[in-house]
């Protein structure tokens, strides 16, 4: 079977082998593919693996040999899954491969904002401690997490992993979730969405991007937050109204934000969050630890092998919709 990987570089810039996938068919791997190159590169492909290269209805209908699309990520909104299903093309994703890595990044942002270890280390390197008249100094408020309220919006795999870290730090954990109280892990209290924005010291997003969650953090909800509050987003960029967040930060309505995702990636130069005070942006790398990418690599091959064996797993579309 002819396999094409369209944008392999992001998940595997060369530090991981493609051996498992290559053992399953005639495999061509491209580091990157422009939209206008998709049809030519996939014309003979029976299976395509893609991370961010999108497949709309027109592209799917233009590739008659295509039988399988493997998304090299958890989110699969880049694929028109209905169009794929009508053609009986199996679409799979890779769930839960980066849970602990993303939870780790959440607290990397929180700890950066509350203690600024890197910045203080740089101040020491510049000689500011050596020349200081006191035995210590700090340039930003030092904030203890114990006893602080953290509100987790979405309590799936990542949300629960974040909750467990927060519990270990003796934080008070609240969650906006569809889970009933009896199903909540010990140490987590259910809360309404606006209650989380009003009462929590830290709000962190772990929900999918849908019509309902787009701009969930809008001008009105940001105005509810404490002036000392911290906003964290490692989920999807459009969950936050970026201009509203920029205004809230510049006007000191909230204290700080840490985000790993933006509404457009890479961002446009005029994105308001790029120059705002107390906004710390990482370039969508929460998922990108070596260990998480190794799991992604392995699961992508396992998904395809299961498809070849006639027992597909991690399928996100229902076939035979015609």
Contact in structure between 193 and 153 (CB atoms under 8 Å): yes
Identify the active-site residue in 116, 221, 236, 295: 236
Exposure string over 225-256, b if 16+ CB within 10 A, otherwise e: bbeebbbbbbbbbbbbbbebbbbbbeeebbbb
Read off φ and ψ for residue 275, nearest 5 degrees: -120, 10
Contact in structure between 194 and 221 (CB atoms under 8 Å): yes
Residues 6+ apart with CB under 8 A from 27: 3, 4, 5, 18, 21
Is beta strand 47-50 parallel, antiparallel or unpaired with respect to 2-5? Answer: parallel
Please name the residue that has the structure tokens 């930003």.
140
For the question of residue 220 being annotated catalytic, the response is no
For the question of residue 236 being annotated catalytic, the response is yes
Burial of 304 by CB count in 10 Å (0-12 exposed, 13-18 middle, 19+ buried)? buried
How far apart (Å, rounded) are the C-alpha atoms in residues 166 and 201?
A: 12
Q: What are residue 188's DSSP bridge partners?
A: 173
How far apart (Å, rounded) are the C-alpha atoms in residues 119 and 79?
A: 41
How would DSSP label each residue in 218-276? Answer: -HHHHHHS-TT-EEEE-S-GGGB-HHHHHHHHHTTSSSEEEES--SSSSPPTT-GGGS-
Contact in structure between 107 and 165 (CB atoms under 8 Å): yes
For 113-185, list the strands marked E by DSSP: 149-153, 172-176
Identify the active-site residue in 41, 43, 214, 284: 284
For the question of residue 265 being annotated catalytic, the response is yes
Identify the active-site residue in 32, 265, 277, 291: 265
How would DSSP label each residue in 160-180? Answer: HHHHHHHHHTT-EEEEE-SS-
Catalytic machinery residues: 236, 265, 284
């Amino acid at each position: 079977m002819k396999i094409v990987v369209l944008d392999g570089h992001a998940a595997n810039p060369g530090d991981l082998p493609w051996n498992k996938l290559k053992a399953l068919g005639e495999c061509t791997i491209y580091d990157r593919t422009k939209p206008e190159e998709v049809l030519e590169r996939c014309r003979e492909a029976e299976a395509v693996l893609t991370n961010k290269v999108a497949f709309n209805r027109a592209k799917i209908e233009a590739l008659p040999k295509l039988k399988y699309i493997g998304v090299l990520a958890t989110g699969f909104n880049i694929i028109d899954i209905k169009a794929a299903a009508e053609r009986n093309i199996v679409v799979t994703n890779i769930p839960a491969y980066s849970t602990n890595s993303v939870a780790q990044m959440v607290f990397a942002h929180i700890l950066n904002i509350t203690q600024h270890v890197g910045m203080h280390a740089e101040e020491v390197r510049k000689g500011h401690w050596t020349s200081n008249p006191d035995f210590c100094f700090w340039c930003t408020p030092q904030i203890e997490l114990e006893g602080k309220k953290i509100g987790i919006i979405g309590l799936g795999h990542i949300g629960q992993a974040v909750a467990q870290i927060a519990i270990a730090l003796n934080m008070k954990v609240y969650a906006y979730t569809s889970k009933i109280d009896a199903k909540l892990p010990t140490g987590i209290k259910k809360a309404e969405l606006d209650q989380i924005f009003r009462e929590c010291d830290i709000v962190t997003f772990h929900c999918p991007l849908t019509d309902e969650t787009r701009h969930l953090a809008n001008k009105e909800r940001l105005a509810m937050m404490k002036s000392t509050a911290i906003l964290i987003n490692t989920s999807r960029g459009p969950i936050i109204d970026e201009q509203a967040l920029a205004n809230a930060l510049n006007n000191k309505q909230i204290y700080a934000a840490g985000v790993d995702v933006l509404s457009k990636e890479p961002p446009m130069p005029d994105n308001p969050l790029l120059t705002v005070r107390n906004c710390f942006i990482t370039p969508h790398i929460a998922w990108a630890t070596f260990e998480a990418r190794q799991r992604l690599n392995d699961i992508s091959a396992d998904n395809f092998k299961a498809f070849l064996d006639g027992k597909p797993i991690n399928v996100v579309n229902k076939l035979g919709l015609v």
